[in-house]
């Protein structure tokens, strides 16, 4: 009798284990707006590979490039709602979240210098910026530096006067809006996913971006001129939904933190090189006329754009702007 009970017990145990559903992986949807070949696209794929490897398959990362899931504004809302778990948007797009402070990084020339940008992102002040995002339910896991902007347009942009009356695409930042107006241009916010068509159909005449985006989105097909101006910088924040991230068990969270760290290192090592290569490759298409600013032209641009810093004191407060100058090591250039 005892023996029969043992055998029955063993059969039951085997049936239970065999029939138990394997624990399904945690899905992380990572949505972004650029091409898989752009630095952010490459880093998102590396993150997927590392996250799945380091968690031994407890996590599956689904990467959605090229705005295939959400466009600029929608993706931030989707993250807050928990419909996606990771994004890496430009920090010039946080206005719709109700976080206006990040726009300060778009003050012309503030972040032109690599050393100033690095110093800023490593500054303890970034903790205050991070708190503003946390208050909106999103946590910045890292910052990814994609280098400085060039302008592209359907007309040569050599002197500040050349912007007069031009319809220029901007990201959502109020500082970018003020800078375009300062030059006499007409700024228009357009989602990155709609930019190629907007340039092609003449909804806008030009835009500023990093070379790797211009290459991988083929903007060179619809823009005749490029000016190497380095007037601003594209920085991303790798963002997650705070509730989601905090709910992860330590045996998942720790390997994911490691994957974030290594993907960040990869991004920052790759982007600068990719942007240099991209300029060469755009040139090699023969479709775009390049202009590299002379010192005199650069001075004229600085003189035209620096008043934006003064104008923005009304938005951010003079003290806050000075705090940012100090944190980044930026010294306003003399015009």
Compute the least distance from the CB of residue 34 to ligand LMR, in Å.
5
CA distances from 221 to 199, 212, 229, 285 (A): 10, 14, 20, 9
Per DSSP, the residues of 60-75 read EEEEE-TTSS--HHHH
Nearer to ligand LMR, 59 or 168 (CB): 168
Question: What's the CA gap between 275 and 228, in Å, rounded?
Answer: 12
Residue 23 C-beta: closest distance to ligand LMR, Å: 34
Return the number of the residue (171 or 263) whose C-beta is nearest ligand LMR: 171
Q: Which of 47, 192, 219, 245 binds ligand LMR (CB under 6 A)?
A: 192
Instruction: Check residue 263 for interaction with ligand LMR (CB under 6 A).
Output: no
Sign of CA dihedral 229, 263, 176, 310: negative
Q: Which structure tokens are listed for 199? A: 């340039």
| Helices within the chain (DSSP H only) | 2-19, 39-54, 72-81, 114-121, 126-134, 174-182, 195-201, 211-216, 242-246, 250-285, 295-305, 307-311, 313-316, 318-328
Which of 35, 148, 171, 235 forms a contact with ligand LMR (CB under 6 A)? 171
Q: Which is nearer to ligand LMR, 251 or 277 (CB)?
A: 277
Q: Which of 35, 213, 241, 293 binds ligand LMR (CB under 6 A)?
A: 213
Question: What is the smallest separation between the CB atom of 281 and ligand LMR, expressed in angstroms?
Answer: 17
**Residue keyed to tokens 């010039």:** 92
Does position 173 interact with ligand LMR (CB under 6 A)? The reply is no
List all residues 6 or more positions away from 154 whose beta carbon is below 8 Å from its beta carbon.
199, 202, 205, 206, 223, 224, 225
- Residue 98's Cβ-count burial label (10 Å; 0-12, 13-18, 19+) is exposed
Residue 152 binds to ligand LMR (criterion: CB under 6 A): no
Cβ partners under 8 Å of residue 202, min gap 6: 154
Q: Between 179 and 234, name the residue whose CB sits nearer to ligand LMR.
A: 234
Residue 38 C-beta: closest distance to ligand LMR, Å: 7
Strand-pair partners of 235: 145
Of the CA atoms within 13 Å of residue 57, those in its CB half-sphere come to 3
Residue of the chain from 55, 67, 90, 241 that contacts ligand LMR (CB under 6 A):
90
Say whether 142 sits in a helix, a strand or coil: strand
Q: From the list 35, 148, 209, 328, which residue makes contact with ligand LMR (rule: CB under 6 A)? A: 209
Residue nearest to ligand LMR (CB): 90
- Crossing angle of helices 318-328 and 114-121, in 10° steps, is 110
Question: Which of 26/91 has CB closer to ligand LMR?
Answer: 91
By C-beta, is 104 or 248 nearer to ligand LMR? 104
Q: 270 by DSSP, 3-state: which?
A: helix
- Residue 249 DSSP symbol: -
8-47: which residues touch ligand LMR (CB under 6 A)?
Answer: 33-34
Binding mask 42-71 for ligand LMR (x = CB under 6 A): ------------------------------
Of the pair 55, 67, the CB lying nearest ligand LMR is at 67
From the CB of 117, what's the least distance to ligand LMR, in Å?
Answer: 15
Which residues are at the interface with ligand LMR (CB under 6 A)? 33-34, 90, 171, 192, 209, 213, 234
């Amino acid at each position: 009798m005892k023996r029969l009970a043992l055998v029955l017990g063993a059969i039951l145990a085997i049936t239970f284990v065999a029939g138990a559903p394997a624990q399904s992986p945690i899905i992380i949807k990572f949505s972004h707006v650029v091409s898989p070949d752009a630095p952010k696209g490459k880093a998102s794929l590396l993150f997927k590979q590392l996250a799945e490897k380091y968690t031994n398959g407890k996590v599956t990362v689904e990467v959605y490039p090229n705005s295939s899931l959400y466009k600029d504004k929608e993706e931030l809302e989707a993250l807050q709602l928990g419909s996606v778990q990771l994004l890496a948007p430009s920090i010039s797009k946080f206005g719709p979240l109700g976080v206006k402070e990040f726009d300060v990084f778009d003050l012309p020339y503030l972040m032109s210098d690599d050393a100033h940008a690095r110093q800023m992102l490593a500054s303890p002040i970034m903790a205050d910026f991070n708190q503003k995002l946390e208050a909106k339910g999103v946590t910045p896991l890292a910052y990814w530096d994609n280098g400085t902007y060039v302008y592209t347009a359907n007309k040569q942009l050599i002197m500040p006067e050349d912007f007069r009356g031009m319809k220029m695409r901007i990201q959502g930042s109020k500082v970018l809006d003020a800078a375009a107006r300062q030059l006499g241009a007409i700024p228009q916010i357009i989602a990155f996913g709609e930019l190629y068509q907007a340039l092609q159909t003449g909804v806008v005449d030009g835009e500023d971006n990093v070379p790797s985006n211009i290459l991988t989105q083929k903007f060179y097909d619809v823009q005749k001129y490029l000016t190497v101006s380095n007037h601003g910088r594209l920085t991303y924040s790798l963002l997650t939904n705070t509730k989601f991230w905090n709910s992860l068990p330590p045996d998942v969270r720790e390997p994911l933190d490691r994957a974030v760290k290594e993907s960040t290192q990869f991004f920052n090592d790759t982007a600068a090189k990719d942007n240099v290569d991209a300029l060469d490759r755009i040139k090699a298409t023969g479709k775009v006329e390049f202009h590299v600013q002379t010192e005199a032209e650069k001075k004229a641009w600085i003189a035209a754009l620096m008043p934006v810093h003064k104008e923005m004191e009304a938005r951010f407060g003079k003290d806050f702007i000075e705090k940012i100058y100090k944190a980044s090591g930026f010294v306003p250039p003399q015009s």
